[in-house]
Each structure stands twice: as C-alpha cells, then as structure tokens.
A and B are shown apart, each in its own frame.
Chain A
Amino acid sequence: MTAEGKRANVYGAGIVSTPGSFEDTTMRGASAHAPTAGFFRTCLVAACLLWPQALVAGLPEGVAGNWRGVVEIETGEAAVRAILRTRGDGFEIDISLPEAPPLRAQLVPSEEPRVFQVAAARRGLFGFFDGGDRSNPFDGEPLIWARSSALGIVAYRLTIGADGGMTLLRIAFEPDGERLEMSVERRIDAEPRTRFDVLLERSG
C-alpha cells in the first residue's frame, strides 16, 4: 500500500474545565486498597495478585498492525511510523516520530487494570523473579507505560535528564475506520512543545 496518511493538524494546547483538588495527588504516598469480603472476592483478588495479566487483554481491535503517515514540521515533511503487535497478554510498540528518539517497548499488564508496564518491571508472582530490573528515571532510564482508553491505547514515556530537565511524550491511538488516528503531545519541562494529530494508513 502506498497511500499516505492525512497531514497532521498542529494546534496549541487546550484547557479543559475539569476541576481538581490542589496538591493532593502527587504529594501523597502510594495508596492502599481496602480489604475485600467474601469468598468470591477473595479468590478473585488472589487470582489477580498471582496472575495480574489475567485482568486485561492486549491491543484493542483495529489498533494492531504496521502504520505510517506524514506530518509537516518546520523543515518540511517527516515520516511517522508505528508498529503495534499483540504479544502474549500484552503488546509491543515501536513508534518513530520526527525530532524524537523512537519509542520501543514490550508492555505487559501491571497490577492496575488496563495499565501496562515494561515487561522487565512486571510485579506479582512473575515479578518476584524480575522485580530488580525496574527502571529508575533519576538514573536517566525512561519510564514507559501505557493504558487502554475507550477505543484504543495511550503510550507514555517520561525522561529526566542529568540536569533535571524532563521530556514527557504522550501518544494516543484510536482506530478510525481502516485507519489509525494518532495524537502526539511532547512536553519539555512541563511546557507543551509539540502537539499534533495524524491519520495513519496501514503499511503492510
């Protein structure tokens, strides 16, 4: 297939009207879940703890595949490529964007439903054996994770530089007929520097 994806629509950052409490979430420690009652719930929780990947499946329908498109940047046009493959109970992503290092990872279900983490950081029964490989963003290793959205997935990568500067990449995928809509936002030191949408075509 040779068709190119729709040109990107570049736009500024928007503001939503959802209110939120101030300085409550990030200033807390990890939250704990309340104990559950009843045999069924206990069995369910135990099963989830021992086998967290049983909670969710991999990629939503219409997302998996090899995709490509074109976006306009200051120096002209640039290719965008995304490979999303179901792998086991999780999935693999390989995303190439202009002016950014590629985002490649194998993601598996985390302890939270519909949230995925890099395979080496898995916890639970299997994480017991490989929990020591957890990445530390303060050592320059990117923190990569993903979540399921209503129709697709959203992948994230947080990188903290040696000088304390941060780069946060957020890429959302949603099927749009035979195509795949990709929304990209890149923040550098909390400022949104890049934001665009592009429709990707299948490339093979």
Chain B
Amino acid sequence: MRPALASFVVALATLFFALPAAAASLADYFGSYVGVAEVRDAADRVVETRHMDIEITPFRRAGFRIHWVNVTLVDGRRDLPGVQRRVAEVTFEPRGRAGLFVEAQVVNPFVQREEMAPLAGDPMRWAKLDDAGLHVFSFVVLPNGRYELQTYTRRLTDAGLDLDFERVVDGDTLRRIDGRTVRAD
C-alpha cells in the first residue's frame, strides 16, 4: 500500500472512531417494556416495590405517547389483597426543532381551548430528548405558592429501559424511584 493511501486510511479510521456515538432517536424508544422498580422515601428507605409495564408509541406526526401501568406489590407479591394498580398516559408533540416536546392538548370542537394558567394550578408537562435519555417533566405551582416538580428520565439499555424518577416539593426531594425494564416481545 502506498504511503499516501495508508495515511488516508489511518486518518479515515481515526475520524470514524473519534466521532461520538450517535444519540438515540425518539424512534429507538418506541416499544413495550416490563420490569421492576424500587420506591424510596426522603430518607432513602425502600418503601415500595412495584412492577412496571411501559409502552412508548408514536403520536401524530412527530410526537410520542407514554402509557404505563404500575402494580404496587404486597410483601413482594401481586396476588395478595391490598395490591394497587395505577394506569396513566401522557402524549407529547414537538414544539420547535430544538428538542422540546409539550403535552398535547385534547381537541374538543365543542369547547373553547383555554390558555394554560400555571398560577391557577394548571400542571405543565413537557419532555426533552438528549444523550442522557428521554426526560419528562411535570411541574405545578401549588395553591400555597410552593412548587412540585416530578422528573422522569428513561434511558435505553442493551436489554430495555431504565427509569429514574424524582419528586421534589419546594426544593425538598420527597421520593425517588429506580426502575429496570427489559424490552418485551
């Protein structure tokens, strides 16, 4: 191999390996995931264990929907009285081109759309996608003027999706959740 060609190949290889790994796209998150999470209180004690069932799907043209089911276990089991099952869903649409997603409004042709009023108690929900994961924020100004912030960060793993959740009220962290899931067929 000629020296010039060899130098070119080496330079090309260097450039290839120097490039950062491509960040996960929104489409990479689409799928179904099942797993387990531990809920910790403000003193970092595990107070609950729950099963998680998460589904992330496309919404409209460029948005996404997260639908999840949490089953809070009783003594580590889900076949005992007292088990709790909670279902929730939230949809987001892109706003601009820089990575901001805002909760999609439900369109009702018979009701005039009202402007969001955070200081009247309207919760604000939005999301962002970056190298660290898919982050969902839920923020509300409480009637006493304090705030509550809930943050969900979902990160892709080789097996599925990891979840970190934090609930903060006026600067105090009251609850954390660490969860691990695998992609379900």
Contacts and interface: CB of A to CB of B under 8 A. Distances in A.
B8 to A, nearest CB: 37
A116 to B, nearest CB: 8
A15 B43 contact: yes
A164 B167 contact: no
A16 B100 contact: no
Contacts of A192: 171
Interface string B43-75: 110000000000000000000000000000000
Interface string B148-180: 111100000000000000111111111100000
Nearest to B143: A112
A28 B142 CA distance: 11
Contacts of A121: 119
Nearest to B137: A166
Given A13-B171, A16-B42, 11 more contacts: A18-B169, A19-B42, A25-B123, A26-B138, A27-B138, A112-B143, A115-B144, A145-B141, A163-B99, A164-B98, A185-B171
Interface string B100-116: 11100000000000011
Interface of A: 13-20, 22-23, 25-31, 110-112, 114-117, 121, 123, 131, 134, 136-138, 143, 145-148, 154, 156, 158, 160-166, 168, 170, 185, 187, 189-190, 192
B145 A145 contact: yes
A134 B172 contact: no
A26 B150 contact: yes
Contacts of A13: 171, 173
Main secondary structure of the interface of B (DSSP, over half): strand
Interface residues of B, number: 56
Contact of B119 (A31, A110, A164, A185): A110
Interface stretch (B11-19, B20-28, B125-133): B125-133
Main secondary structure of the interface of A (DSSP, over half): loop
Contacts of B116: 136
B83 to A, nearest CB: 15
B175 A20 contact: yes
B174 A23 contact: no
B68 to A, nearest CB: 10
Nearest to A162: B98
